[in-house]
A = this chain, B = another copy of it.
């Protein structure tokens, strides 16, 4: 039962991700901020829905696991706005690694190792699976903001180049989705939802 106690401790710990809020808004719920737990659910299902656009063969189970766990570190490190500056992103990286070690460290050894390695693979984006997963994480706010009068982009004065840079993983991992993103950001600029530049 020692393993079970550790597994339950982990499951209760990650409940806290439901209290970490992001900049993206939930249109259907009075535009309240989205939390990272429900976001993780959404991108896991996005991956099932868009898997056929993967340019290279992906292991959808590994992709799904990465997407389910990738934000857990925010329990300690908080959510950093995607378009924060470089210095803030570097400080965040250090906090997130420590968080991953603490939180996955609650698990029995074999599970800890598996989840920590998947988390690191996603962070480094150094595999086909991780690159596709990153693409899913980053394209979802485009769908959300385009259907919500610009959503978090408009509120935070985001520009087109920032969105394109952030979605660059799609260029090689899902070229058809990359073409779609390029069209959509132009539409968003015309509508005044993204700054041009």
Write the A1-39 contact mask toward B (1 if CB under 8 angstroms, else 0).
Answer: 100100110111011111100000011110000110110
Say which residue of B28, B44, B61, B177 sits within 8 Å of A41 (CB atoms). Answer: B44
A11 touches B60 (CB 8 A): no
B41 touches A15 (CB 8 A): no
Count of interface residues, chain A, beta-carbon cutoff 8 Å:
47
B26 touches A14 (CB 8 A): no
Asked if A49 meets B7 with Cβ closer than 8 Å, knowing A18-B26, A40-B41, the reply is: yes
Residue of B nearest to A59 (CB): B61
Which stretch of A62-70, A88-96, A125-133 is in the interface? A62-70
Residue of B nearest to A111 (CB): B49
Q: Is the interface of A mostly helix, strand, loop or mixed?
A: helix
Say which residue of B7, B53, B68, B143 sits within 8 Å of A12 (CB atoms). Answer: B143
Chain A residues packing against B (C-beta within 8 Å):
1, 4, 7-8, 10-12, 14-19, 26-29, 34-35, 37-38, 40-42, 44-46, 48-50, 53, 60-61, 64-65, 68-69, 107, 111, 115, 140, 143-144, 147, 176-177, 180
A12-B144, A41-B44 given; 12 more Cβ-contact pairs under 8 Å: A1-B180, A8-B143, A12-B143, A17-B38, A18-B26, A19-B28, A37-B37, A37-B41, A44-B44, A45-B69, A48-B115, A49-B107
